[in-house]
Every structure is written in structure tokens, then in C-alpha cells.
Amino acid sequence: MKIGELAKRSGLTAYTIRYYEQIGLLPAPDKDASGQRDYDASILTWIEFLGRLKATGMPIREMLRYAALREKGSATDAERRTLLEAHRRKVRDHVADLQANLLVLDAKISGYADAEKRIETQHDPVKRKPLRARRPRTL
């Protein structure tokens, strides 16, 4: 498969694929007679995994370390596992942090909701502003 198709199938752009190859995140594929990259479908699995590392906030430098270990073969399995476990810990911590902040956000939003309610019922309870009628303004 050529780079354009891999781009479509992987969700990366051709630019990004070449960039990843350049930095060593993707293995250099075989080239055809006219020098064009010819990818094996199996690369998609690796790209998908990289996507998960990225989605969980792993910086490229660390993915690179993982990629380098992977290229050295199964002798590095233990080290790779350690790396992933460390990453997992960070992700879990991050999730916990996000959840804590969500609670504060909930409280803040409730505060706005309460204030709104007070205003609605304060002077003119009959003529309520319908909650669904509001639209955000263009900024």
C-alpha cells in the first residue's frame, strides 16, 4: 500500500507518516522501483497502538524509546512492559485529577444554575425565562 492509502486507512496525513518515519517512530518501508513507499498492512496495528499512546498523553520522545526497544526484539519485552506500566500509572493519575476537577466544575456550574434560579423567581415568577430558549452568542 502506498502512503496515500495508508494515510486514509490510518487517519494520519501523509506528512505525518513521513515525519514519524523520519524521527524513527515508524519503520522505513520498502520502496518500489520508482522510490515510492510500499507499506505492509501490519503497520496499521503499530500506528493504532501509537495512537493510543498519544491519546493517553505520551510524548513522542517516550514513544520513541518504546519504538527503539521494539526494534531490538523480544529481549526488551520486560523493559517495554515497565515503560508501559509507568505510563499507565501516569494516565491513571491524570484521570483521577480530571475527575477531581470535574467535581469542582460541577459545583461551579451548579452555582450558576442556582444564581439563575434566584433571578428567575425573584421579581417575576410567572414570566420565566425558558431554559432551552437561550443560544450562545457569536464571539
Partner DNA sequence: CCTTGACTTAGAGTGCGCTCGAACACCTAG
Partner DNA sequence: CTAGGTGTTCGAGCGCACTCTAAGTCAAGG
- Interface ranges with DNA (CB under 7 A): 2-5, 7, 13-16, 18-19, 31, 33-37, 54, 59-61, 139
Instruction: Pick one of DNA, its own copies, none as the site partner of residue 35 (Cβ within 5 to 8 A by kind).
Output: DNA
Q: 80, exposed or middle or buried, with CB in 10 Å at 0-12, 13-18, 19+?
A: middle
Report helix, strand and coil shares of the chain as percent, to nearest 5. 70, 5, 30
Q: Is 99 left (phi over 0), alpha (psi -120 to 50) or beta?
A: alpha
Minimum CB–partner distance for residue 43 and its own copies (Å):
12
Which set of grid coordinates corresponds to residue 83?
A: 515503560
Please tell me whether residue 25 adopts helix, strand or coil conformation.
coil
Please give the radius of gyration of the chain, using alpha carbons only, rounded to the nearest integer: 25
Q: Which of 82, 93, 117, 121 binds its own copies (CB under 8 A)?
A: 82
Q: State the binding partner of 106 from its own copies, DNA, none, CB within 5 to 8 A by kind.
A: its own copies
Q: Are 43 and 29 a contacting pair, CB within 8 Å?
A: yes
Q: What is the DSSP code (8-state) at residue 97? A: H
Window 103-132: contact mask with its own copies (x via CB under 8 A): -xxx-xx--xx-xx--------xx-x-xxx
Those residues with Cβ within 8 angstroms of residue 87's Cβ, 6 or more apart along the chain or in another chain: 53, 56, 58, 62
83 is a site residue for its own copies (CB under 8 A): yes
> Pick from its own copies, DNA, none: which does 49 bind, CB < 5 to 8 A by kind?
its own copies
Contact residues for its own copies (CB under 8 A)?
A: 22-24, 27-28, 49, 52, 55-56, 60-61, 64-65, 68, 70-71, 73-74, 77-85, 87-88, 91-92, 94-95, 97-99, 101-102, 104-106, 108-109, 112-113, 115-116, 125-126, 128, 130-134, 136-137, 139
